[in-house]
Amino acid sequence: MRVAMIGTGYVGLVSGACFADFGHTVTCVDKDASKIERLHQNVMPIYEPGLDDLVASNVRDGRLAFAVDGAEAIRAADAVFIAVGTPSRRGDGHADLSYVYAAAEEIADLMDGFTVVVTKSTVPVGTGDEIERIIRARRPDADFAVVSNPEFLREGAAIGDFKRPDRVVVGTDNERARAVMAELYRPLNLNETPIMFTGRRTSELIKYAANAFLAMKITFINEVADLCEAVGADVQQVARGIGLDNRIGSKFLHAGPGYGGSCFPKDTLALVRTATDAGSPLKLIETTVAINHARKKAMADRVAEALGGDLKGKTVALLGLTFKPNTDDMRDAPSLDVAPALMARGATVQAFDPEGMEEAAKLLDGVVFKEGPYEALAGADVAVILTEWNQFRALDLDRIKLLLKQPVMVDLRNVYRPEDMRARGFRYFSIGRPLDAA
């Protein structure tokens, strides 16, 4: 199959490289000429484990190409994927679809022969209908079908998620489009991945409902963690105890500083807006959004409490800035709330992140960035773990004790065990695991 992928952001680049690896011929198109130029030199615009090798080998084998001008690729394509950004629109939280519609217009003007137009970007219910209208209006004679095919890729694990997904969802009523999509994903038959065909609106909603449910699950365990602290219980054991029930499942029950990232905050907000507009509000998700927002801000209070309530003149060592490990993505990261809140209370913040500092430096005014974790810890009053990078799981605790002014750690990701930390002489604070729970 021939594929044109419009947009070489996170989703487009990973999907394009993986389709090429499946054996299809893929051109990834992006208006950003410098990005395409760098991709020609195998420089990835994002940090994703394994992506550079995957791109390099498929380019070398002639299945993957990059272009600024999409004309040739779109003309030749059996399927054109729209994988452009859908940021939150300023002011109202609705998804901004201007890039999606611009791509639809471009596709309408260029496509040739039967073409399947696929939305890979997360788009609100009804967007497929609008894309169909846009294309039909510009090309009344065109032979095409618009399909919804949401992605469920986690950053840091995106290639594995694409190649071994739990399921693939394809929303279309068009038989020919179904056949094209089935052929595109045929390699997944080998590991018996369910490919679920649904109506287009259903497929669009599945993506939002999945993300909203996961965000709600995290928020649930975060609230339970607070309760654990109040009543002397251990949230990790509560999570395990409920997660072993198959109906609940053990994943996404890790309590922390609140969810961030490029999807959950934006998608929950957009779903809330869609539901309100449709006259069928989603109260659970509205509450989830509000709780998570407040939680990220409240993390600075925990640091203050660990130091007796006052942060004036104190130095805080912040370990981890990205919204989760194995990514350089800073979008909606808890650090964007936590660091300013610490500084507003009078603290100096010394931070280190293995991949996120370049981006963080643009977003976090006033933070002092350090070369490594120990440099960030030197002379600080408290160590705060904000992102659970592997390298923070095996820190040299004796060395930290010498570097800190006093041995205090606030572990917002529950990386260490409270008993161990106490035995080593730390005053240790984590999430949902009061010392008296042990």
Q: Which residues are catalytic?
A: 263
CB of residue 263 to ligand UDX, shortest distance in Å: 3
Q: Check: CB of residue 356 under 8 Å from CB of residue 326.
A: no
Stretch that binds ligand UDX, among 171-179, 211-219, 398-406, 420-428 (CB under 6 A): 211-219
**155 is known to lie in a ligand binding site:** yes
x/- track of binding to ligand UDX for residues 254-273 (CB under 6 A): x-x--xxxxxx---------
Residue list 324-343, contact with ligand UDX (CB under 6 A) = 324
Complex with ligand UDX: residue 82 or 214, whichever CB lies closer: 214
Q: Which two tokens stand for residue 432?
A: 């949902």
CB of residue 190 to ligand UDX, shortest distance in Å: 22
CB of residue 224 to ligand UDX, shortest distance in Å: 12
SS3 385: strand
Alpha-carbon span 163 to 22, nearest angstrom: 9
Alpha-carbon span 266 to 286, nearest angstrom: 12
Alpha-carbon span 388 to 77, nearest angstrom: 42
Complex with ligand UDX: residue 215 or 349, whichever CB lies closer: 215
Q: Which two tokens stand for residue 212?
A: 């909203």
For position 229 contacting ligand UDX by CB under 6 A, the verdict is no
CB of residue 317 to ligand UDX, shortest distance in Å: 20
**282 is known to lie in a ligand binding site:** no
Q: Check: CB of residue 84 under 8 Å from CB of residue 104.
A: no
**35 is known to lie in a ligand binding site:** yes
Complex with ligand UDX: residue 260 or 418, whichever CB lies closer: 260
Stretch that binds ligand UDX, among 132-140, 162-170, 224-232, 250-258 (CB under 6 A): 250-258
What does the angle CA 232 – CA 438 – CA 295 come to, to the nearest 5 degrees?
50
Matching residue, tokens 């595109």: 184
Complex with ligand UDX: residue 259 or 369, whichever CB lies closer: 259
Residue list 130-169, contact with ligand UDX (CB under 6 A) = 151-155
Q: Give the residue nearest to ligand UDX (CB).
A: 263
243, 252, 302, 378: which one binds ligand UDX (CB under 6 A): 252
Alpha carbons within 13 angstroms on the beta-carbon side of residue 335 total 37
**324 is known to lie in a ligand binding site:** yes
Selection from 282, 251, 247, 125 nearest residue 198 by Cα: 125
CB of residue 375 to ligand UDX, shortest distance in Å: 24
Tell me the sheet residues that pair with 60.
none
CB proximity list for 116: less than 8 A, separation 6 or greater:
78, 79, 80, 144, 145, 147, 176, 177, 180, 181
218, 321, 364, 412: which one binds ligand UDX (CB under 6 A): 218
**321 is known to lie in a ligand binding site:** no
Complex with ligand UDX: residue 209 or 435, whichever CB lies closer: 209
CB of residue 159 to ligand UDX, shortest distance in Å: 13
Helix axis angle, 264-277 to 200-231, nearest 10° = 120
* Cα-Cα end-to-end distance for the chain: 58
DSSP 33-98: HHHHHHHHTT--SS--TTHHHHHHHHHHTTSEEEES--HHHHHH-SEEEE----PBPTTT--B--H
CB of residue 161 to ligand UDX, shortest distance in Å: 7
Residue list 384-423, contact with ligand UDX (CB under 6 A) = none
DSSP collapsed to 3 states, 323-375: CCCCCCCCCCCCHHHHHHHHHHCCCEEEEECCCCHHHHHHHCCCCEECCCHHH
DSSP 163-192: HS-S-EEEE---HHHHHHHHHHTGGGGGGT
For position 323 contacting ligand UDX by CB under 6 A, the verdict is yes
Residues annotated in a binding site: 30, 35, 86, 122, 152-155, 207, 252-256, 260, 266, 324, 331
Residues that bind ligand UDX (CB under 6 A): 151-155, 211, 214, 218, 252-254, 256, 259-264, 323-324
Residues annotated in a binding site for substrate: 152-155, 207, 252-256, 260, 324
Residues annotated in a binding site for NAD(+): 30, 35, 86, 122, 155, 266, 331
